[in-house]
Structure 1
Amino acid sequence: MNTQRETSTRTRPYTILATAVLAASATFGAGLAPAAAAGLGSAGEAPGLGSPSGFTAPDKVADIEFPTTISHRGGADVYPEESMEGFTASAKDGFLPEMDIQFLEDGTPVLIHDDTADRTLNGATGPIRDLSREEWDAATIKHPTGGEEAATVTLDELLDEMGGEVVMVPEIKPGATPEEVDRVLDEFDERGLKDSLVVQSFDFEAAKTIADRGYTSLYLMGSTMPKESPAEIKDAGIEWVGPSKNLPTNKMRELDKAGFHVAPYTLATAKDGHRLPGFIDGYFTDDAWTD
């Protein structure tokens, strides 16, 4: 397995933030995110909005305001799923971008939810772990409504673009080995990102490792309570939990009373998030803009 960080030779346009804003405006109309529309300067430039980076989402976990909106897969119902366009648009409009980490044939961490390419990519098929870096770079991400496709994204590319500028919520997908979990956390360490990431996993041991390494850890769970008790989860140093939206409300309340930040997944739109009980600290949504 290649454990060397490779510098990407792919270039991305300086107008990517402006492009994301324009795409959102085209999708939802001029009334969407007026700060975004007003922030576009001449020649499509994207000036700083609220911070030098142009992002209005917080750059430190300690600065998150509750309830917070987590833009699932970068807004998968609005932008190409797990694209730089979706991540930057989410962060610019104040939402925490969420993404999934899988691994290529050579061990390169890349951002895609499924363990196969077929659903979301054009130009590549089959298991992600069987793809070469060249095949990954040549593929494109399908647009959810038939619009322009987007370039695939590696973890390094995302961190080069946004690392430390905004709180991000990466998930290390099930199937990652302990060595791969450590490798991703080593990458975060090298970039000094402990204060600006909420790192997730469905695997309790991985979530525990994340907490042990000094990161804010979010333990994902399904529509029933996990085998670990709230006390065991708390003792592991885990601060956030992400239950399915179908977990009964009384169980979510139990997690809240145990002292966790509770952020259920995955709601269709932000409007659905506004209907959640008041004790909920956040939620994942595929469309953070429709409220």
Structure 2
Amino acid sequence: MIITLSRAGGHHMRASWRKAAIAAVSVLALAGCRHDNSAEAAAASCEPGPAAIAHRGGTERAMENTLGAFTAAGDAGVKVWEIDVHFDVRGTPVVLHDDTVDRVSPASGPIARLDAGDGIPTDDGQRIPTLREVYDLAGRHQAQVLTEFKTVPTAKQWSAVAAQIDATIGRRAVTLMSFDRAVVLEAARRIPDTQLALVHATGDLTPEEIKQYGGAINKHHSSIIYSRAKKWHDAGIRVYAWTVDKETDWERLSVLPIDGFVTNRPIEYTRWAAERCKSKDSAN
């Protein structure tokens, strides 16, 4: 099944989640429970749950943010990927979480001082990929890509990102996001027609605050409760939860109006979600 994160797709997904939300509230009322994010709020029938979003491609088959990880996710049918972007010494966008390569490579040093064209190795025998390589791969798998900037791009670097999007999967398949609100606003100006999202850790935001930075929020899972998720969804905002790796959290959060789980275990989560639906259908 292809998960579409466009505005139109978000509308249909929200309609489904409204039904689930009503059922969840009914269960809570019958149980006399005041905890609005309880797993006991699960609806009687199995509604489509949050989409699997491969966090850095996932780490189930290969090292994070490598072509091997994204290939494994894509081959397993995971249609939404999350990646991190830095820039090498030539200004080439590369897919890497940290500002140094030390944690994932036998090489060392800041990526801004290294040349990805030289083939920077990873600890599992691959190499740190360029953004274009990952976008090319995403295109072959018909995947959409949540692209998080881990640094503030220069004008030249913004142009390089835009050119690589346009040469590969196209702007409608890309969501540009950052913790840095100024970066999200600059993304809107530099690369229009892409989706935008604000990455946010703890605390609450109003729908109006979120919408200044696009149509989605990528929120730390520990800070998502039913009332917040419903408030955002009712305002037409897509909600992603990161990083959701434990089955207890999958169960707890699956009953909330959340569009996607950003997880290091996208393949296992997909299997778990299918089994959960099968169990619910059998019970009914």
Fold similarity call, TM over 0.5:
yes
Matches within 5 A, 1:19-38: none
Q: Which residue of 1 aligns with 2:55?
A: 72
Match among 251, 254, 271 for residue 228 of structure 2: 251
One of 149, 153, 174 as aligned partner of 1:197:
174
The change in CA–CA distance for 1:274 and 1:93 in structure 2 (over 3 A counts) is farther
**Residue 92 (1) aligns with residue 37 (2):** no
Which ranges in structure 1 are unaligned for 5 or more consecutive residues?
Answer: 1-55, 144-148
Q: Is the 8 A contact 2:88 2:112 kept in 1?
A: yes
Name the residue aligned to 2:264.
286
> 2:137 matched to which residue of 1?
161
3-state SS of 2:102 partner = coil
Query: Secondary structure, in 3 states, of the residue corresponding to 1:99?
Result: strand
Query: Counterpart of 2:114?
Result: 131
- Secondary structure of the equivalent of 2:252? coil
Q: How far off its partner does 1:220 sit?
A: 0.5
Aligned to 1:183: 160
Post-superposition CA distance 1:220-277 (Å, at most 9, x none):
0111236xx42143244x1110011121414344333332111110012466334303
Alignment of 1:214 onto 2:190:
no
Greater Cα radius of gyration, structure 1 or 2:
2
Kept in 2, the 8 Å contact 1:263–1:283? The answer is: yes
Structure 2: gaps spanning 5 or more residues: 14-48, 273-284
How many pairs align?
225
Change in 2 beyond 3 A, CA 1:244/1:109: same
Assess if the C-alpha contact under 8 Å between 2:60 and 2:267 holds in 1.
no
| Distance change (3 Å), C-alpha of 1:73 and 1:271 | farther
2:218–2:240 contact (8 Å) kept in structure 1: yes
Deviations 1:115-161 (A, max 9, x none): 11111112x101111112354x0x32234xxxxx3232111222333
Tell me which residue corresponds to 1:101: 85
Shift of the 186–263 alpha-carbon distance from structure 1 to 2, 3 Å rule, reads same
1:25 maps to which residue?
Answer: none
Letter in 1 for 2:123: K
Q: State the alpha-carbon separation in 1 of the partners of residues 67 and 169 from structure 2.
A: 21
RMSD of the alignment, in Å? 2.7
Assess if the C-alpha contact under 8 Å between 1:81 and 1:142 holds in 2: no
Q: What's the CA shift for 1:59?
A: 7.5
Determine the C-alpha separation between the residues in 2 that align with 1:59 and 1:259: 15
Separation of aligned partners in 2, 1:270 and 1:194: 33
What is the DSSP-based 3-state SS (H/G/I as helix, E as strand, rest coil) of the residue aligned with 1:150?
coil
Mapped to 2, the partners of 1:88 and 1:166 lie a distance apart of 11
Residue 224 of structure 1: which of 179, 203, 213 is its match? 203
Match of 2:245 among 256, 268, 273: 268
Higher relative contact order (CA 8 A, sep 6+): 2
Change (3 A) 1:83 1:268: same
Change (3 A) 1:160 1:282: closer
Partner of 1:27: none
Contact 2:50 2:260 in 1 (8 A): yes
- Provide the C-alpha distance between the structure 1 equivalents of 2:221 and 2:129, rounded to a whole number of angstroms: 28
Note the C-alpha offset of 1:167.
1.4
